[in-house]
Amino acid sequence: MNAHRFDNIMLKTKTVGAKATPKGIEVTFASAEEGGSAPAPQLYDLVLQAVGRTPNGKKIAAEKAGVSVTDRGFIHVDIQMRTNVPHIFAIGDIVGQPMLAHKAVHEAHVAAEVIAGELQGNKELAAAAFNARVIPSVAYTDPEVAWVGLTEDQAKAQGIKVKKGLFPWTASGRAIANGRDEGVTKLLFDDSPEAHGHGKILGGGMVGTHAGDMIGEVALAIEMGADSIDIGKTIHPHPTLGESIGMAAEVAHGSCTDLPPSKK
């Protein structure tokens, strides 16, 4: 299906220039290997640029203000976003992974509340802390991939026994109606003996259209310590993609009536 999009992958090649011309974007290349040959310049309608991020703690000379900066340029903060200099706070990418906008915003709220609380003598505000259990991630691809909390691999590596609820979108009326039933919703619940069959949700992930719009519900479930009955018995509207979260919980619980019959 995607063959035509990937039929000209240039290996061992660097992009060294991109120039907008009336005919399109002219992109020039160089060999990534010394003495190697580079492809001829190409003309494109669209160019997708992927960039990484690095913390700039060293570049802003934070150390001159007494703030400790790691070799990689990060600044350590406590759960109130306070640096080693008590009246200097830091939030966002510079304080560590994950480097995501929604993490930065919540950290910034905490810092602002602590500062305002201390200035105003408001003890409740001054006690604000960043203590999120989880931070969701989304890959805005097509289809989207979204995940939050523990993954199956992490559970395995950490020796945590989990019960999995997997709901294929081929059984979702909305996904079928959308013509996009290639997705799946997966939830993981604590299955340790101490959980006595009522383990809390530990993580979840989904692949499919609008997955990023739905992962917040799984994050909320983790924050609230929900189990498979809490989520499965929460009535989700039909037909929606969000229904797949309730169904995945029912699958884990063993009460899902919406799965296609398994092949014999």
Which residues of this chain interact with ligand FAD, rule CB under 6 A? Answer: 51, 53, 56, 60, 92-94, 99-102, 104, 140
Is 87 noted as a catalytic residue in this protein? no
| Residue closer to ligand FAD, measured from CB, 65 or 176 | 65
Nearer to ligand FAD, 11 or 50 (CB): 50
Q: How far is the CB of 105 from ligand FAD (least distance, A)?
A: 8
Residue number with CB closer to ligand FAD (92 or 203)? 92
Shortest distance in whole angstroms from residue 57 CB to ligand FAD? 10
What is the maximum span of the chain, computed from C-alpha positions, in angstroms?
Answer: 70
Question: Contact at 8 Å (CB) between 221 and 235?
Answer: no
Given the complex with ligand FAD, which of 99 and 229 has the nearer CB atom?
Answer: 99
Q: What are phi and psi of 120, to 5 degrees?
A: -95, -5
Residue nearest ligand FAD by beta-carbon distance = 92
Amino acid at 68: S
Least separation in angstroms between CB 100 and ligand FAD: 4
Round to the nearest angstrom and report the end-to-end CA distance of the chain.
30
Catalytic residue among 87, 102, 198, 238: 238
Q: Are strands 201-208 and 24-31 parallel, antiparallel or unpaired?
A: unpaired
176 and 170 in contact (C-beta within 8 Å)? yes
SS3 state at 138: strand
Asked if 114 and 89 touch (Cβ cutoff 8 Å), the reply is yes
Least CB distance to ligand FAD at residue 106 (A): 11
Supply the residues annotated as catalytic. 238
